[in-house]
Amino acid sequence: MGGTYAGCILRVNLTTGEIKKEKPDPALLRKYIGGRGLASYYLNQLMDPAAEPLSPENVLIFATGPLTGTSAPAGGRYMVVCKSPLTGLIASSNSGGHFGAELKAAGYDMIILEGAAKEPVYLAIKDEAVELRPAAELWGLETDVVTDQLREEFGDEKAKVACIGPAGENLVRFACVINDKHRAAGRSGVGAVMGAKKLKAIIVRGRKRPVAPDEEVFKNFVREKTEILRTNPVTGEGLPKLGTKVLDNIINENGLYPTRNFQTGVFEGTEEVCGEALVEKGYLKKNRGCYACPIKCARVTALPTGSRGEGPEYESGWAYGACCGVKDLIAVTEANFLCNRLGIDTISCGVTIACAMELFERGYLPKEDLGPGPALNFGSSEAIVYYTHAVAYRKGFGDKLAEGAARLAQAYGHPELAMTVKKQELPAYDPRGAQAQGLAYATSNRGGCHVRAYLIAPEILGIPEKLDPSSTEGKAQWVKAFQDLTAVIDSLGICLFTSFALSAEDYRDLLAAATGFDYTLEEMMRCGERIWNLERVFNLKAGLDPKEDTLPKRLLTEAMPEGPNKGQVVRLSEMLPEYYKVRGWEEGRPTPEKLRELDLA
Amino acid sequence: MGGTYAGCILRVNLTTGEIKKEKPDPALLRKYIGGRGLASYYLNQLMDPAAEPLSPENVLIFATGPLTGTSAPAGGRYMVVCKSPLTGLIASSNSGGHFGAELKAAGYDMIILEGAAKEPVYLAIKDEAVELRPAAELWGLETDVVTDQLREEFGDEKAKVACIGPAGENLVRFACVINDKHRAAGRSGVGAVMGAKKLKAIIVRGRKRPVAPDEEVFKNFVREKTEILRTNPVTGEGLPKLGTKVLDNIINENGLYPTRNFQTGVFEGTEEVCGEALVEKGYLKKNRGCYACPIKCARVTALPTGSRGEGPEYESGWAYGACCGVKDLIAVTEANFLCNRLGIDTISCGVTIACAMELFERGYLPKEDLGPGPALNFGSSEAIVYYTHAVAYRKGFGDKLAEGAARLAQAYGHPELAMTVKKQELPAYDPRGAQAQGLAYATSNRGGCHVRAYLIAPEILGIPEKLDPSSTEGKAQWVKAFQDLTAVIDSLGICLFTSFALSAEDYRDLLAAATGFDYTLEEMMRCGERIWNLERVFNLKAGLDPKEDTLPKRLLTEAMPEGPNKGQVVRLSEMLPEYYKVRGWEEGRPTPEKLRELDLA
Tens-place pLDDT, residues B154-164: 999 999 999 99
Within B155-199, residue ranges assigned H as helices are: 166-169, 190-196
Count of residues for chain A? 601
From B214's Cα to the closest Cα of chain A, the distance in A is: 51
Omega prior to B464 cis, within 30 of 0:
yes
Separation between Cα atoms, residue A318 and residue A429, nearest integer Å: 10
Q: Of A509, A431, A419, whose CA–CA distance to A472 is shortest? A: A431
The C-alpha atoms of residue A260 and residue A351 are separated, in whole angstroms, by: 9
Average pLDDT, chain A: 97
Task: Select the residue of B282, B307, B390 nearest A305 (Cβ to Cβ).
Answer: B307
The model's pTM: 0.95
Task: Kindly report whether the peptide bond that precedes residue B56 is cis, defined as omega within 30 degrees of 0.
Answer: no
Interchain proximity A385–B282, CB inside 8 Å: no
Average pLDDT over residues B61-83: 98
Instruction: Report yes or no: B13 and B56 within 8 Å, Cβ to Cβ.
Output: no
pLDDT tens for A92-110 read: 999 999 999 999 999 999 9
Q: Do B305 and A305 touch (CB under 8 A)?
A: yes
CB-nearest to A382 from B331, B338, B389 is: B331
Q: Which residues, at least 6 apart from A509, have a Cβ–Cβ distance to it below 8 Å?
A: A221, A224, A225
Distance CA A61, CA A38 (A): 10
Ordered alpha helix ranges (H), A197-296: 215-231, 233, 239-242, 247-253, 270-273, 275-280
Give backbone dihedrals phi and psi of B335, rounded to 5 degrees, phi first: -60, -40
pLDDT tens-digit series, residues A301-352: 999 999 999 999 999 999 999 999 999 999 999 999 999 999 999 999 999 9
| CB-based contact A197:A376 (threshold 8 Å) | no
For residue A185, how many other CB atoms are within 10 A of its CB? 29
| Angstrom distance (rounded) from CA A549 to CA A440 | 10
Which pLDDT band, with edges at 50, 70 and 90, does B2 fall under? confident
Cβ-proximal residues to B596 (8 Å cutoff; 6+ apart), any chain: none
The answer to whether the CB atoms of B374 and A304 lie below 8 A apart is: no
In Å, how far is A80's CA from the nearest CA of chain B?
A: 28
For the stretch A569-593, pLDDT in tens is: 999 999 999 999 999 999 999 999 9
Quick check: A52 and A58 in contact, CB under 8 A?
A: yes
C-alpha to C-alpha distance for A92 and B2, rounded to whole angstroms: 80
Q: How far apart, in whole angstroms, are the C-alpha atoms of residue A585 and residue A445?
A: 14
Contact B304 A380 (CB under 8 A): no
Instruction: Report the distance separating Cα B110 and Cα B38, nearest Å.
Output: 9
pLDDT band, residue A58 (cuts 50/70/90):
very high
Contact A382 B307 (CB under 8 A): no
The one-letter code for the residue type at B234 is V
The residue type of A538 is F
Query: B282 and A331: CB-CB below 8 Å?
Result: no
Is A338 close to B305, i.e. CB distance below 8 A?
Answer: yes
CA distance B249 to chain A (A): 16
Q: Does B450 contact A at CB distance below 8 Å? A: no
d(CA B556, CA B439): 11
> Is the Cβ pair A385, B304 closer than 8 Å?
yes
Spell out the SS3 assignment of B126-162: ECCEEEEEECCCCCCCCHHHHHHHHHHHHCCCCCEEE
Put simply, whether A302 touches B (Cβ < 8 Å) is no
CB contact under 8 A, A305 and B374: no
A125 beta partners: A130, A204
Q: Is the pLDDT of residue B302 over 70?
A: yes
Cβ distance of B330 and A382 shorter than 8 Å? yes
DSSP letters spanning B231-284:
HSHIIIIIHHHHGGGGHHHHHHHTT---BTTTTBS--TTHHHHSHHHHHHTT-E
- Rounded to whole angstroms, the maximal C-alpha distance in chain A is 67
Q: Which residues of chain A does B268 touch, with a Cβ-Cβ cutoff of 8 Å?
A: none
What's the average model confidence in pLDDT over B246-265?
98
Query: Regarding beta strands A177-179 and B129-134, do their DSSP bridges make them parallel or antiparallel, or are they unpaired?
Result: unpaired
Contacts of B272 in chain A (CB under 8 A): 374-375, 382
Q: Residue A264: which pLDDT band, with cuts at 50, 70 and 90?
A: very high
Rounded to an integer, the average pLDDT of B309-329 is 98
Residues 239-278, chain B, touching A (beta carbon < 8 A): 272, 277
Give B420's strand partners. B425
Q: Do the Cβ atoms of A328 and B388 come within 8 Å?
A: no
Q: For residue range A422-454, list pLDDT tens digits in order.
A: 999 999 999 999 999 999 999 999 999 999 999
Sheet holding A90-95, edge to edge: A19-22, A9-13, A110-114, A60-64, A78-83, A90-95
Q: Which of residues 330-369 of A touch B (CB under 8 A)?
A: 330-331, 334, 337-338, 341
Say if A143 is an interface residue toward chain B (CB within 8 Å). no
- Percentage of residues of chain B with pLDDT beyond 70: 100
On the 0-12 / 13-18 / 19+ scale of CB atoms within 10 A, A119 is exposed
Q: For residue B400, what pLDDT is reported?
A: 98
Confidence check: pLDDT of A524 > 60: yes
- Mean pLDDT over B294-313 rounds to 96
Rounded mean pLDDT, B49-64: 98
A327/B contact by beta carbon, under 8 A: yes
The answer to whether A374 contacts chain B (CB < 8 Å) is yes
| Mean of pLDDT over chain B | 97
**A380 with B328: Cβ contact below 8 A:** yes
**Residue B119, min C-alpha distance to chain A (Å):** 28
CA distance A387 to chain B (A): 9
Measured between beta carbons, the chain B residues lying within 8 angstroms of A277 are 372
- In the predicted structure, residue A2 carries a pLDDT above the cut 90: no
Give, in order, the Cα–Cα distances in Å from B209 to each of A579, B330, B512. 87, 41, 18
Give Cα separations from A315 to A91, A139, A187, A351, A556 (angstroms).
19, 29, 12, 10, 22
- Quick one: closest CA in A to B336, which residue? A305
pLDDT on residue A260 = 98
Split at pLDDT 50, 70, 90, the class of B92 is very high
A155 touches B at CB < 8 Å: no
Residues A120 and A108: their CA atoms lie apart, in Å, by 23
CB contact under 8 A, B382 and A327: yes
Q: Which DSSP state fits B200?
A: E
Q: Are strands A199-205 and A121-126 parallel, antiparallel or unpaired?
A: parallel
Cβ–Cβ below 8 Å for B327 and A380: yes
What CA–CA distance (Å, rounded) separates B289 from B248?
21
Backbone angles phi, psi at B547, to 5 degrees: -60, -20
Which pLDDT belongs to residue B213?
96
Name the pLDDT band for A148 (thresholds 50, 70, 90). Answer: very high
Q: What is the pLDDT of residues B484-502, one digit of tens each?
A: 999 999 999 999 999 999 9
Rounded CA separation A543/A569 (Å): 29
Nearest to A302 by CA among A282, A276, A280, A318: A282
Nearest chain A Cα distance for residue B163, angstroms: 20
DSSP secondary structure, A211-234, as one string: --TTHHHHHHHHHHHHHHHHHSHI
Determine the residue of chain B that is closest to A331 in CA distance: B382
Q: Do A334 and B305 touch (CB under 8 A)?
A: yes
Chain A residues near residue B330 by CB distance under 8 angstroms: 331, 334, 381-382, 385-386
How far does the CA of residue B305 sit from the closest CA of chain A (Å)? 6
Tell me if residue B199 falls in helix, strand or coil: strand
Is residue A304 within 8 angstroms of chain B, CB to CB? Answer: yes
Residues 386-425 of B with CB under 8 A from A: 386, 388-390
Please list, in sequence order, all residues whose beta carbon lies within 8 angstroms of the beta carbon of residue A152, skipping any fewer than 6 positions away. none
Is B1's pLDDT higher than 90? no
Q: For residue A303, which residues of chain B lie inside 8 Å, CB to CB?
A: 385
Q: Is the model's pLDDT at A1 over the cut of 60?
A: no
Whether the CA torsion A271, A275, A278, A281 is positive or negative: it is: negative
β-bridge pairing A129-134 and A160-163: unpaired
Mutation target among B305, B326, B341, B401 for the A interface, most CBs of A within 10 A: B305
Number of residue pairs across A and B with CB atoms under 8 Å?
A: 89
**Identity of residue B415:** P
Distance (Å) from the alpha carbon of A329 to chain B's nearest alpha carbon: 7
pLDDT digits (tens, 9 = 90+) for A346-399: 999 999 999 999 999 999 999 999 999 999 999 999 999 999 999 999 999 999
Query: B373 at the A interface (CB within 8 A)?
Result: yes
- pLDDT tens figures, B437-466: 999 999 999 999 999 999 999 999 999 999
pLDDT for the residue A501: 97
What is residue A107's predicted lDDT score, i.e. its pLDDT?
98
How would DSSP label each residue in B89-136?
SEEEEEE-SSHHHHHHHHT-SEEEEES--SS-EEEEEETTEEEEEE-T
CB contact under 8 A, A338 and B307: no
**Separation in Å, CA of A375 to nearest CA in chain B:** 8
The kind and range of the H/E element at B19 are strand B19-22
Sequence-separated contacts (24+) of B460-463 with Cβ below 8 Å: B460/B250, B460/B251, B460/B254, B460/B256, B460/B429, B460/B433, B460/B434, B461/B234, B461/B250, B461/B500, B463/B234, B463/B500
* Cβ atoms within 10 Å, residue A136: 10
Name the closest residue on chain A to residue B334, using Cα atoms: A305
Closest CA to B97 of B147, B160, B34: B160
Residues of B in contact with A338 (CB under 8 A): 304-305
Considering only CB atoms, B328 lies closest to which of A272, A338, A382, namely A382
pLDDT > 70: percent of chain A: 100
Q: Is A90 on the interface with B (CB under 8 A)?
A: no
